[in-house]
Structure 1
Amino acid sequence: MAAERTRKRKRDQEATIAKIKKGKVNKKKAAKTKKKKGGSDDESDFEMAEMYKKAKPMPGQLANCELCEKRFTVTAYSKAGPDGGLLCTPCGKEIQKEAKIAEKANKPVVRKARRKIESNRLDGLTTRGSKTLQQLCIEKLAKHSEDIEEFGEIPEAILNRLSEIFGKKRAMRSSTFKLFLQPDLDNLAIHEAAYLETEDFNQIFAVIPTIKKLILRNCCQFKDSNMEYMIEKAKDLVDVQLLGANLVSNDNWINFFIARGPELKSLKLEWLDAAFNDQAVEALSTFCPNLERLKLERCKQLGVDSIDAIARMEHLQHLTLKLYIHIPRERLINLIGSVGGNLRTFCLENFLDNTETDEMDEDYVPNETTEPKEAHKPDDHVLAAINSNCTHLEKFRFSDNNECTDAGYANLFTGWNNPPLRYADLSSTRDLDNTNPEGPEDLPIGLASSGFKALMAHSGSRIEYLDIASCRHINHEALAHVFDGVKQYPHLREINMSFCTVADTQTVAGIFRSCPRIKKVVTFGCFEVQEVIVPKGIVLIGAPRAHDAIEQFGDTVMDFQKELQSEMDRDRAMGRIVPVMG
């Protein structure tokens, strides 16, 4: 068997050699034939030159550089020259550098990466054009954060903006965190503290013992030891905002309220899972009598008793609650009746539960002059309590609710003894019955046409921000009635009407006419919005067509009031309203 394999290998080698020789002979014959026919023999010369070309030196051998002719040792990383030779290390680096410059010059200019555009949109940035010198300097500082020794004396607003950019770029580390610690500061805001260690938080109170306002977001390493050190050192704290401080025990929260309660004016806590329960809120109510601003969102340990404790805080002016449990209506109505009279900000999200029963629903009529009893489901009594007790609100959020009826919202805003709202967010208030997406016709659930008209009639003269996203039961007639181009909303700057599917080109054009100071219109999911001429200085976000830019910036230079008047005159003459900007 071994002898047979040896003979077979020799036969294969002989066949390969014969094939190579035959190929060389055929090339020579072809070259001679081509020369006889009068053709050029450049190709054959090139092939012969390649055949007898000297092989390149192997790694470890010596060679002359093709450019500078210096003698050098060949390595596996030696670059090839323009004529096929090898280059020494300095010449190879120079050739590589020139190639990169040429490649960069020939590369097509990309205006902006889509990911960057989406990131800016999430941050609420919709400006265009050249950046300001201040913005360029801030971004340059953030880019070279590791090389900065100190910021020096810079305004607090710029320092806060730097903290935001450092947080966004994940550059807020232990080394860069020290740049923001200045002994003469009163306020400190760290918008991304996820990379900070426990020792870093102690430095805040060691360097700035007179701190009054502290904002720490994603402070996952803020522990009991930090809370104890803060109680000992920071004796002037009046405003505390912590997000994600899950390693602080319930007892230390109570100790903090006992020690700093009389001075504390504002407390905002979010994303607390392991601690901060009803006992902590009870201590907050007892030992912090001067608290004016309270925000509790996504605190899993809070229950119904916390609502009763908050109801005893007599000096509250700003209240935001978003809990994981459903609160019985009588407790919520009692809260509104206790603190609603002083509130200027009232935000409730995802609160009511239609599985609860209220014994008081049968006979409870909070405001008989403005709301007939038969117009309400039991859930509408919460809106009625707001109508009766809240008379100083500037900001109102009542979102993610699928129980209050359109009649309840209409009665809330009709005859409401409250100044016009500056900020209104009633998003995602609609019926959730998938079998009937349009909702019940006789009694619409959520903010619908009547409630929307009542809202704009009450607050249209002063409202600056309006969010009615996913209020899908508002019909087209109501939108056309409110934004008809004649009624004016002089202070409205931003409106979000995403997923109000009846909104169309006429609606958006009406917003441009009725809101002379509008800056931003968001229309995601409004597929009937097409071919809109966006006036100068306005951004329209949410273009439905895939090949269009999501943001449409107004470039048209026009005298807007003059254009509006000419269109209205033409409309009156023809007896109709033209839906598109001309």
Structure 2
Amino acid sequence: MDNNPPGPYRHRRQAGDPQSAQSALSGYLRSNAINARAITRGHQDRIQAARDAFATAQITANSSTQNVEKDEDEDEDDEDREEEGSASPSATTTISTTEARKRRRKELRKRKELRDMHKIKMTKQFKKRVASRLPLYTDEDVLARQMLREQEKERRAIADFMPGQTENCEICQQRFTVTPYTRAGPNGGLLCTKCGKKLADEEDGKKKGKKATQGPAGRRKDHRKKQAGGSFGIGTKSLVTLCIETLAANISLADSFGDLPFMVIDRIARMLSKRRMMNAHTLELFLQHQPEDVRIYDASQLEQQDYLRIFQVCPKLKHLKLYNAIQFRDEVMEYLIGRDFTLESLYLAGANLLTEKGWWDYLKVKGGHLKSLRVYFTDQHFNQGVLQALQLFCLSLVRLKIYHNQQILDSQLEHIAKIPSLRHVSLHLIKPTTTCTYVYIIQHLGKNLETFSIRMVPQVGDELLEEIHEKCAKLTKLRITHSEVMTDAGFTKLFTGWKNKPLKVIDFEKCLPMTDETPQENADTVGLHASGFEAMMNHSGSKLKKLNLHGCRHISGDAFEAVFASGKKYPELLDLEVSFCEAVTDLIVGLIFKSCPRLEKLNVFGCMRVSDVRVPRGKILIGLSNAKGMGIQGTED
């Protein structure tokens, strides 16, 4: 039985049948009048014609001796004309197509050569060769084409070797592995990495040598920076200093400090803190020998566990100093309370996360043994409650310093006056204070007081100076800054007939009226003037080590000349600050150097009359604004 469908689909074959595909293709060619055999013969004729043309071109290229490209074109043209008369139409078409392809390839080669020459002209090597050899070439294209040929020669030389194989260097004969970046030698061989780099440096005109160090201008800049910052030392660095700097630079390789003395370890701690390298790893080096004194000058990278580690490892800890103790919280203070040792000295800076309750709990339990408490920039919770705890529990406290506090009020300072054991008091409060409060402190503590320092007290007047004159007899350091009320008569009365021994440190910075309208006029003689200055030097000049007169512009030049006159000596004075004292001149600076044989540093910022001074050897003059620089180290004998 016939299973094919009736009608026009009766003779349709299944898909994939070869006879069906052949019949379909033949039907398509017949319907479009296409002769498949003619197409095949034409394709074979074109291939044969191309082969004949290529063979003819090779013969012509080998026989030409001059102007290869021109002769090749002429021969091809002659052959094309001969073939045009005898060749078949299909061969003529094939030859025309071949000529077009040849011309196209020739144009592409010329364009590529022009691009490569343009790239060569943009290189530094080409510009240097042009500058050195331009008289030999009237056209830069000649030199660019020559350099292009040299590059092609080098590429062909390298192309003969495969990356990964080993060859001998043309110059040093050392065996090396060839890479795609291997450089060709001048005689066609290959160069190793070292010789290739040397050849490249010679071609580029680079001088082989050591890396240039910092120039004189940079060294002078660092030199002045150290002088102005107060960290400059006279002469060469000691062997201990060099060793400390080397150790700080390679602290990651250190396992232990061994038996180094405490002062050297403290200098190492300062160096590491300056370089921001104090962390949990370096902290272990300072705790290995269970010291009694731990000083960390940058604790910003330490966490609570690091502080607990200190208290765990050091069972005999007595003195603790922490700068930037940001993570010193109540939990740390609670752990410290639970330890069986007691601190004698506590120095905290920046511990604003420590609450009033934490302070109170610690002082209540451990405050009886505390002898020194210094708190810097810790003002969030250090307030009246903490002062009350100091009064109640710290009966052995000798030194108290509160610096840059924003919480304590003027009336709350009376708690300090009720700590009879205090010998050193230093206060710097942001909120305004009055004279009566400080007078009250002097009345109760002045008899045994050795240090009295108050900063930023614009409203404190002569009554405080009178009370100091009456009550204080053991002071060695006196600092009163930014007072706009104290007068020259008060300073003169303070130092005249004062039963106190000579002071070692005096700081009267910016004790002057702060008026913008008439700064030179001072009818009320507010601030330190000539009389007070002379009385001060007569009383304390023999033992004075540090004197700060910054901004005391009402001291006259005659007073300076009289105090530092020829024949007067101040043998202990090491540091003198006379910045913005307008009367200071070159003569006065010279007298200061002669009167102070041990003087190390003299600051003259803002002294416009100081211009050209001979600085003795071993002394430093800072603040001189001239061509010599801001800081000058003495060289005069």
Are 1:208 and 2:288 matched, yes or no?
A: no
Are 1:531 and 2:612 matched, yes or no?
A: yes
1:18–1:101 distance in 2 versus 1, CA, 3 Å: closer
- Larger deviation, residues 133-142 vs 117-126: 117-126
How is 1:69-468 mapped onto 2 (pairs within 5 angstroms)? Answer: 70=176, 72-74=178-180, 102-104=208-210, 109-110=215-216, 113=219, 116-117=222-223, 120-121=226-227, 124-233=230-339, 235-353=341-459, 379-440=461-522, 442-468=523-549
More helix by share: 2
Check conservation: 2:505, 2:545, Cα contact below 8 A: yes
Check conservation: 2:573, 2:599, Cα contact below 8 A: yes
Are 1:515 and 2:596 matched, yes or no?
A: yes
Check conservation: 1:452, 1:474, Cα contact below 8 A: yes
Cα distance, 1:530 vs. partner?
2.6
1:231–1:84 distance in 2 versus 1, CA, 3 Å: farther
Cα distance, 1:88 vs. partner?
5.5
Check conservation: 1:223, 1:245, Cα contact below 8 A: yes
SS at match of 1:52: helix
Cα distance, 1:46 vs. partner?
4.7
Check conservation: 1:62, 1:71, Cα contact below 8 A: no
Check conservation: 1:211, 1:237, Cα contact below 8 A: yes
Are 1:469 and 2:575 matched, yes or no?
A: no
Alpha-carbon distance in structure 1 between the residues aligned to 2:199 and 2:287: 47
Check conservation: 1:485, 1:511, Cα contact below 8 A: no
Check conservation: 2:318, 2:343, Cα contact below 8 A: yes
Aligned to 1:552: 632
Are 1:53 and 2:150 matched, yes or no?
A: yes
Letter in 2 for 1:157: M
Cα distance, 1:353 vs. partner?
2.9
TM-score normalized by the length of structure 2 = 0.72
Deviations 1:114-137 (A, max 9, x none): 564355336523323221111110
Cα distance, 1:310 vs. partner?
0.1
Cα distance, 1:54 vs. partner?
4.0
Letter in 1 for 2:360: I
Are 1:495 and 2:592 matched, yes or no?
A: no
Deviations 1:14-36 (A, max 9, x none): 9x969969x99xxxxxxxxxxxx
Cα distance, 1:489 vs. partner?
1.5
Check conservation: 2:224, 2:629, Cα contact below 8 A: no
SS at match of 2:552: coil
Alpha-carbon distance in structure 2 between the residues aligned to 1:81 and 1:150: 54
Aligned to 2:91: none
Alpha-carbon distance in structure 1 between the residues aligned to 2:373 and 2:534: 35
Alpha-carbon distance in structure 2 between the residues aligned to 1:275 and 1:82: 79
Cα distance, 1:87 vs. partner?
5.8
**RMSD over aligned Cα, in angstroms?**
3.4
Alpha-carbon distance in structure 1 between the residues aligned to 2:271 and 2:199: 38
Check conservation: 2:326, 2:350, Cα contact below 8 A: yes
1:111–1:403 distance in 2 versus 1, CA, 3 Å: same
Alpha-carbon distance in structure 1 between the residues aligned to 2:238 and 2:187: 50
Aligned to 1:561: none
Alpha-carbon distance in structure 2 between the residues aligned to 1:84 and 1:428: 80
Deviations 1:420-456 (A, max 9, x none): 111111111111101111132x322211222111111
Check conservation: 1:278, 1:305, Cα contact below 8 A: no
Q: How many residues align?
A: 502
TM-score normalized by the length of structure 1 = 0.78
Cα distance, 1:108 vs. partner?
6.5
Check conservation: 2:224, 2:631, Cα contact below 8 A: no
SS at match of 2:369: coil
Percent of pairs with identical residues: 33
Aligned to 1:27: none
Deviations 1:189-248 (A, max 9, x none): 111111112111111111112111111011111111111111222623100000001111
- Larger deviation, residues 327-336 vs 84-93: 84-93
Cα distance, 1:113 vs. partner?
3.8
1:94–1:138 distance in 2 versus 1, CA, 3 Å: farther
Letter in 2 for 1:437: P
SS at match of 1:456: helix
Aligned to 1:570: none
1:196–1:110 distance in 2 versus 1, CA, 3 Å: farther
1:532–1:286 distance in 2 versus 1, CA, 3 Å: same
- Larger deviation, residues 210-219 vs 328-337: 328-337
Alpha-carbon distance in structure 2 between the residues aligned to 1:293 and 1:17: 88
Letter in 1 for 2:512: R
SS at match of 2:447: helix
SS at match of 2:403: strand
Deviations 1:31-53 (A, max 9, x none): xxxxxxxx957988755522433
Max Rg structure: 2
Alpha-carbon distance in structure 2 between the residues aligned to 1:74 and 1:317: 79
Letter in 1 for 2:254: I
Alpha-carbon distance in structure 2 between the residues aligned to 1:223 and 1:548: 50
Letter in 2 for 1:49: Q
Alpha-carbon distance in structure 1 between the residues aligned to 2:188 and 2:575: 64
Cα distance, 1:80 vs. partner?
9.0
Alpha-carbon distance in structure 1 between the residues aligned to 2:112 and 2:285: 78
1:187–1:51 distance in 2 versus 1, CA, 3 Å: closer
Letter in 2 for 1:394: T
1:331–1:105 distance in 2 versus 1, CA, 3 Å: closer
Alpha-carbon distance in structure 1 between the residues aligned to 2:327 and 2:113: 75
SS at match of 1:261: helix
Check conservation: 1:57, 1:74, Cα contact below 8 A: no
Deviations 1:130-171 (A, max 9, x none): 211111100000000111111111100101111111111111
Check conservation: 2:414, 2:437, Cα contact below 8 A: yes
Alpha-carbon distance in structure 1 between the residues aligned to 2:229 and 2:628: 21
Letter in 1 for 2:576: I
Cα distance, 1:336 vs. partner?
1.4
- Larger deviation, residues 60-69 vs 263-272: 60-69
Letter in 2 for 1:516: P
Q: Which runs of 5+ in 1 are unaligned?
A: 1-9, 25-38, 355-378, 558-582
